[in-house]
Structure 1
Amino acid sequence: MADRQLNSSPALGPLLLRGALRSPFKRPAPGAGFPRTRLLLPGLRIDLARLAAYERVCGFPTGEPDLPVTYPHVLGFPLAMRLMSRRDFPLPLLGLVHTSLSIERAAALRADGEYDLSVWIEGLTAHRRGTEATVATALRRDGGLVWSSRSTYLARHGTAPGRPDGDRHAASPRTPDDGTGGADGDPVMPVVAEWAIGADVGRRYGAASGDRNPIHLHPLTARLFGFPRAVAHGMWTVARCLAAHGTPDAAEVRARFRAPVPLPGTVAYGADGDGRFALRGPDGGLHLSGEVRPLPVRNFLAQNQS
């Protein structure tokens, strides 16, 4: 894999437009080629005003000395879009679905710190509904890895019978099969809070994160892509849950995005005493399931020296 160093974070708007224009010409397949470049952005410092806007819209306390556990994803997203909007990335950006997220954090990350950011595409895999790409992000401080994530993105297309079901990313491997689950098979968590989500959440999160995908901004632009209403960003839903749940300084987070949250809307946030959480709609339909676990720092560092 070749490394390419950037001087600044790329602007998201032109990348999203370029990816959209190239989408009709893409030919997704698990065996297709993909960019073998790792993008590096050294000496990254946090824009504290933008961070505060992100904290407000996601429900994190503002002005804290440490970054929310999900915020490095926002920092890496423009680099991911640079790779995913390239001509040699085989999945169409339009219609691409964020299906899962895993994060490992070695310790609390200072908001006033300086970091080296890297993003690359790990590979493509077959899914029963199409092809999934795995995008990896890493944050280093003083040469040591302090935060890493993997996101999977699904491009739906026709597949041959017998494809894998794609459930290797299940957020909660300890989920019991004891008959207590909902219709979706996941256990129904005790409801901790109900949240009324405003129609402007997509626009507010888009302004704070830079991700101004039209399906999140307004009903009119969402309808152009087959959605009757705007839907919340998946990364907003997991950040909002983690703001309520809390995360140890050294932690592992896993989440699966099950169904979009229409805007405006009402959702129920549930959690148990075992680190698991979920977000459901008024009809009980599952939007998101996830889990937070403490992560021994020594183990994290030993496993992530590359």
Structure 2
Amino acid sequence: MTTSQPVVLGELPSLSKLYVNAATTAARRRVLGASAGQHTLPTVSHEVRNIRADVENLTAYQHLVGETASDILPAGYVHALAFPVSMSVMNRDDFPLPLLGMIHLKNYVEQRVPITFSEALDIRSWAENLAGHKSGTQLDIVAEVRSSTNGGLLWRGISTYLAKGVFLPGIDKPGGANGATAPTDFSPPNPTGLWHLGLETGRSYATVSGDFNPIHLSVLSAKALGLRGSIAHGMYLASRALADVGAVKADSFTWNVAFEAPVFLPARVAVDIATVQSGSGSWERSDYVAWNARSGRRHFTGSVAALG
């Protein structure tokens, strides 16, 4: 998708304010209905410049997801840093889908080079690939992180979201489960790890990421949005799996995750990480899968691979 010149924001947007605005917009749309013509994605991008990571916040993030303390920003932390800019795009008045209730289907990240906490960053985000899904309408939110010094691309992420139950005029409903991992038979392997996630998990991740989406914070706030209980953030789960892959991964890598079933809190999540080595014995790829330790239901799958 070709976007026009970016809308340069004066500062990193506040996610809490964006959620409040999204709730207000949702209420207005319920009363007035979506206005005619709001069936295409905005052709603008949003950008913030000269952003630096907060060391205290970085340390708290690393501790929460199990990353080793380091001056290098974990790929999941970079996603959290860019997320407010992406959210501001989805919060625009001309964005055709409701922000609240969006389901995170999958994520793809390219970590081009290691990013140190002291580096000044420019973050740009936009929406593209509006498409039909058997359960509603999906789209991709793209975020790019570049060096403020020389403009070099450091990190790129594509998050695919589903607006369940929202079918826009002119967008055909496909025959398959577009954008989602096709269900397959799953026999849980012997786990390499077991996560014990308490009710506070959603609030803890919200504190370090700024993502205070009500579906993650408490049973009551989640039920208000139609869920039977609070669920863990998808990127918390994916970031924890990335941390479990560990230091074996290369400096430059791709990182995929596809979500299948939410993790309702509290939970016991079993994880299996399998490492593939090249013919020379060096690390090539790590595949991971996570499932409900009690029921055996698969929650998500993914991989981390060397970026060629």
Shorter-chain TM range is 0.7 to 0.9
The alpha carbon displacement at 1:184 in A equals 3.4
Which runs of 5 or more structure 2 residues have no equivalent in the other structure? 277-285
8 Å CA contact 1:280, 1:287 repeated in 2: yes
Alignment of 1:122-201 (within 5 A): 122-141=128-147, 142-157=150-165, 163-168=174-179, 170=181, 184-185=184-185, 188-201=188-201
Aligned to 1:293: 305
CA contact (8 A) 2:16 2:212 kept: yes
Partner of 1:48: 55
Partner of 1:208: 208
- Residues 58-73 of structure 1 aligned to structure 2 (within 5 Å): 58-62=65-69, 64-73=70-79
Q: Partner amino acid for 1:61?
A: T
Structure 2 CA distance, aligned partners of 1:92 and 1:60?
34
Q: Cα gap change, 1:28/1:148 in structure 2, threshold over 3 Å: closer, same or farther? A: farther
Tell me if the contact between 2:196 and 2:268 (Cα under 8 Å) persists in the aligned partners: yes
Letter of the 2:46 partner, please give it. Answer: L
Of 207, 231, 252 in structure 1, the residue corresponding to residue 254 of structure 2 is: 252
User: TM-score scaled to structure 2, two decimals?
Assistant: 0.85
Structure 2: distance between partners of 1:139 and 1:59: 23
Distance, in Å, in 2 between the alignment partners of 1:28 and 1:248 is 48
Kindly indicate whether the alpha-carbon contact (under 8 Å) linking 2:72 and 2:115 is maintained by their aligned counterparts in 1: yes
Match of 1:176 in 2: none
Q: What is the total number of aligned residue pairs between the two structures?
A: 283
Q: Which amino acid aligns with 2:224?
A: L
Q: What is the match of residue 36 of structure 1?
A: 43
Distance of 1:111 and 1:146 partners within structure 2: 13
Q: Please provide the CA RMSD for this pair.
A: 2.3
State the identity as a percent: 31
- The answer to whether the 8 A contact 2:181-2:260 is kept is no
Partner SS for 2:256? strand
Map Cα deviations across residues 78-137 of structure 1 (whole Å, 9 max, x no partner): 111111111211111121101110000112111121111111112311111111110000
- In structure 2, the residue corresponding to 1:116 is in which secondary structure? strand
1:304 aligned partner: none
Give the distance between the partners of 2:260 and 2:200, measured in 1 at CA: 22
After superposition, what is the alpha-carbon deviation per residue over 1:12-47, rounded to whole angstroms, capped at 9, x for unaligned? 111111112222527599x92122111121211111
Which consecutive residues of structure 1, in runs of 5 or more, have no partner in the other structure?
172-182, 297-306
Distance 2:288 2:34 in 1: 36
Q: Distance in 2 between matches of 1:70 and 1:60?
A: 10
Offset at 1:288? 0.9
Alignment partner of 1:217 is 2:225? no
Structure 2 residue identity aligned to 1:266 = R
Contact 2:104-2:159 within 8 A present in 1 as well: yes
Deviations 1:131-188 (A, max 9, x none): 11100001112211111010011011266996142445659xxxxxxxxxxx733574
Aligned to 2:287: 276
Match in the other structure for 1:302: none
Residue 233 of structure 2 aligns to which amino acid in structure 1? H
158 and 120 in structure 1: CA distance in 2 versus 1, 3 angstrom threshold: closer
Whichever residue aligns with residue 56 of structure 2, its letter is A
Contact 2:132–2:178 (CA under 8 A) maintained in structure 1? no
Deviation (angstroms), 1:198: 1.3
TM-score by length of 1: 0.86
